[in-house]
């Protein structure tokens, strides 16, 4: 019996670490996997890799049936500007891929599908004065958020009709050592800033990324997804996963400079920053999943640096 994970990126590997430690076998489906990255994150045991695309329905069905898959974690898809730069490609990969994952789950008799969504599904055009709960309206007109909202609704329709278990996790901006091939500009910004603090150097940050935002450490997300994949179905099925507060960009800078005063951050003009007004309400995840964030921002950034140092040593040794 195995768990199939679409997408071998930061969230997919965060979940896989938890699952492998619990004795599960992971099968990744990713069209452009980075083997050294996976070996660094996961070691050499407990996982296998299928170099296929979520747009390949027969390959998904075969992977699920051949490996006795009982649970699917769907994290594959384009992110942010990669969707906005080509709405057609984003539609094809994100929505077409999600349709195929749902259909493969149906055809293979998989028991549970855990979908990795995003806080970007919320309609930020609407005024909000309190933390954003899971029943807040979806859709904000931009491609990434709207496509993520549409993915959720596709999976809801499939789950209701074909009676498989559906869990959906909506993370805040996930930070941690990744390859960011799917296009996470927020992830790339954070990695550049952490590297600058670690090395005592300067990082150039686009002005559009100087936003006040809600963050969540990758290990906290992996733990939440693992709980969602194993817990008996709770009352609700959609869960916000974040730190529960908005971090100001100035606070992020001050925290990193507190770790290393030699760090410097140069802002490159590229457009106005669109900050988050309110954080997500994570009460439901606390009450029904027994989940709460384990990392403060400072502790999470220090952990990030430790992993980056280890990754550099690993890549140098195995290059």
pLDDT tens digit string along 97-122? 999 999 999 999 999 999 999 999 99
Q: Residue 303 and residue 148: Cα distance in Å, rounded? A: 29
Q: How many residues does the chain have?
A: 319
Q: Which residues contact 319 (CB under 8 A, 6 or more apart)?
A: none
Give mean pLDDT, residues 154-177. 97
Domains, in order of start, for the chain: 2-175+215-242+278-294 (3.40.50.720)
**Residue 272, Cα to own-chain centre: how many angstroms?**
25
Nearest Cα residue to 221 out of 298, 316, 295:
295
Give the neighbor-by-neighbor strand order of the sheet with 112-116. 47-50, 25-29, 2-6, 69-74, 112-116, 165-171, 238-241
pTM: 0.96
**pLDDT range class, residue 179, cuts 50, 70, 90:** confident
Task: Report strand pairing: 2-6 vs 25-29.
Answer: parallel
pLDDT of residue 183: 61
């Amino acid at each position: 019996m195995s768990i199939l994970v679409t997408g071998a990126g930061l969230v997919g590997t965060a979940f896989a670490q938890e699952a492998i430690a619990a004795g599960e076998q992971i099968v990744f489906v990713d069209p452009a996997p980075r083997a050294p990255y996976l070996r660094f994150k996961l070691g050499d045991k407990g996982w296998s890799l299928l170099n296929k695309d979520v747009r390949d329905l027969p390959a998904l069905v075969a992977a699920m049936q051949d490996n006795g898959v009982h649970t699917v974690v769907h994290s594959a898809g384009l992110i942010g500007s990669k969707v906005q730069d080509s709405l057609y490609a984003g539609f094809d990969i994100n929505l077409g891929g999600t349709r195929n994952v749902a259909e493969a789950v149906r055809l293979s008799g998989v028991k549970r599908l855990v979908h990795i969504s995003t806080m970007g599904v919320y309609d930020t055009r609407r005024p909000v004065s309190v933390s954003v709960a899971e029943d807040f309206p979806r859709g904000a007109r931009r491609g990434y958020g709207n496509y993520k909202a549409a993915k959720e609704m596709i999976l809801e329709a499939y789950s209701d009709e074909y009676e498989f278990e559906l869990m959906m996790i909506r993370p805040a901006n996930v930070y941690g050592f990744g390859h960011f091939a799917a296009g996470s500009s927020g992830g790339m910004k954070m990695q550049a800033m952490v590297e600058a603090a670690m090395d005592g150097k300067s990082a150039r940050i686009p002005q559009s990324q100087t936003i006040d935002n809600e963050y969540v450490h990758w290990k906290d997300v992996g733990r939440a997804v693992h709980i969602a994949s194993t817990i008996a179905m709770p009352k609700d099925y959609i869960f916000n996963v974040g730190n529960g507060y908005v971090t100001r960009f100035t606070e992020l800078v001050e925290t990193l400079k507190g770790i290393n005063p030699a760090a410097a951050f140069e802002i490159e003009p590229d457009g106005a920053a669109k900050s988050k007004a309110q954080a997500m309400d994570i009460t439901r995840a606390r009450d029904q999943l027994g989940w709460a964030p384990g990392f403060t921002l400072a502790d999470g950034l220090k952990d990030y640096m430790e992993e980056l140092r280890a990754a550099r040593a690993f890549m140098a040794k195995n290059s």
